[in-house]
Structure 1
């Protein structure tokens, strides 16, 4: 498994990470998947306090006992859940972040978090206060580095210019090339890494994804998706299946340190991991994919 440096940090993460949101709430099954991921070379685990109201963090904490030193552990903050109230409220305040980190540390059964990420963000947030919270947590040794999870270019630019983020997590795939317009060039210039979620576009970019393409995706209708899927399947014939082509496309960007496809079964997990051994896309293949797919653009929050 190849490892890439995360931004300008001292962290080196497996190019295939594990997005833990889809592990589910069956602790035995989820723990087995985490252990298999680690055994097969994945060292980057991404969770959030939002997932299953903290249960996901608890499962990860149990699963990595005795393995903590070998893991780059990432979680997220900003969505405030209060018992007795419906749903979550957005809270990027310094007070909440410094309180929430203690709860995440408790659930994860660790005394530090490698990568602490703001789970969203708007220009209306008290951004200076948010950054101050992360910087203080670094000084206190509770986190090693911080980043943001956002698809909003205007928010990403603010943090790139005003903070010491080492990463941006964003949706990115052949079907969602929006980061290519503004985000990827900026991050590459500044030495900040992209962590790509959704590389197989909700399963559409897999060999078994034809049915999922029926509803369309972003600005693609089902006919366009069907046609593009056929081309991509043919392109990889003999060397890569569709999902591996999709994952290798995302990893071809110099700014991308890792992809974090989710896995809810052992079969999915092993298939994701196998992408690390798949043939890289040639320059001609990359050019063909870019020519045949859409250059999506962010319409809001530019």
Structure 2
């Protein structure tokens, strides 16, 4: 599997990364999926302290034992669990981030994190304090690099302008092209995009039409538009799953396209799709079918 540099960080991540949020809450099943991912050449694994209240980090840490040096491990912070264990509040303070990383390190059973990400962000945050927390952790060697996971252009630009962040995680796919407007800005900041929602909840797979018919729409597509668009994409593409992955990787600002998997079979479906050749002509044809929405809020 090919790798791309994450910003100008010196970290090289596989073009397909495993979004670990979907992993089953079973140590052996999760380990089997991660084993299959590593065998396929995936070296980038992404989790968050919020997922399952920290349980997801424990699953990932268990599965990666003995192979830490071979992978790029990413997690996120900023959402503090409330005492009830079922809800959380936003906290981008330095005190919380410094404490959160300690807890993540314990759950992941590691002494450093390759990519630590702010898991959201608002314009009301004391961004200088937040960035100082990440810079301090990087200076101490607790994290190697840091980034932000956000779809808000205002928040992203302010964070990139005032920090040495190397990545921005955004929902991006053929059915959600909103990030494209901001790709040049991210590239100019020497950062890369990590995509989530790469196959758009499965709408961009062989099961896409069936899923679309049971949905109430997606992004700015209403229910009818979603069905019509997925049908048109399916008819135009030789393999929509492969085309969906190739599409997001077509822009070199994208370093890695995350895919989630609840089973090994789901993971292997995406690996097979990634390995298929998709021509530039096919990508252009599919691009002509879909809308190019823009973010309506949080604009610069």
Tell whether the structures are fold-level matches, with TM greater than 0.5. yes
The aligned residue for residue 153 of structure 2 is 153
Structure 2 gap segments, 5+ residues each: none
Q: What secondary structure, in the 3-state scheme, does the structure 1 residue paired with 2:107 have?
A: helix
Query: TM-score scaled by structure 2?
Result: 0.96
- Tell me, yes or no, if structure 1 residue 66 matches structure 2 residue 60: no
> Residue 39 of structure 1 corresponds to which residue in structure 2?
39
Distance across 2 between alignment mates of 1:142 and 1:275:
36
Question: Are residue 248 (structure 1) and residue 246 (structure 2) matched?
Answer: yes
Normalised by the length of structure 1, the TM-score is 0.95
Matched, 1:271 2:275: no
Q: Which residue matches 1:224?
A: 225
| CA distance, structure 2, for counterparts of residue 281 and residue 46 of structure 1 | 29
- Is 1:206 matched with 2:205? yes
* CA deviation profile, 1:160-217 (whole Å, cap 9, x unmatched): 1111100000000111000011x21111222210000001111111111223213211
Contact 1:170 1:195 in 2 (8 A): yes
Q: Give the conservation status (yes or no) of the 8 Å contact 1:169–1:195.
A: yes
Aligned 8 A contact 1:232 1:245 in 2: no
Task: Give a deviation string over 1:91-138, Cα, whole Å, max 9, x none.
Answer: 000000001100000110100000000000000001000000000000
| Cα deviation, residue 146, structure 1 | 0.1
How many Å separate the matches in 2 of 1:293 and 1:236?
13
Structure 1 residue 134 corresponds to structure 2 residue 129: no
Range 84-93 or range 62-71, more displaced: 84-93
- Supply the distance in 1 between the matched residues of 2:279 and 2:126 (Cα, whole angstroms): 42
Deviations 1:211-259 (A, max 9, x none): 321321121133322332233223332xxx2111111101101100011
* CA RMSD across the alignment: 1.3
Aligned to 1:298: 295
Secondary structure at the residue paired with 1:9?
A: coil
Structure 2 CA distance, aligned partners of 1:200 and 1:213?
Answer: 12
Alpha carbons 2:205, 2:240 under 8 Å: kept: yes
Contact 1:19/1:45 (<8 A) preserved: yes
For structure 1, the 5+ residue unaligned runs are none
Distance (whole Å) between structure 1 residues aligned to residue 14 and residue 292 of structure 2: 28
Correspondence 1:94 to 2:91: no
The 3 A distance-change label for structure 1 pair 281 and 222 is farther
Partner of 1:121: 121
Measure, in 1, the Cα distance between the counterparts of 2:125 and 2:137.
19
SS in 2 for 1:101: helix
Number of residues of Structure 1 aligned to a counterpart in Structure 2? 297
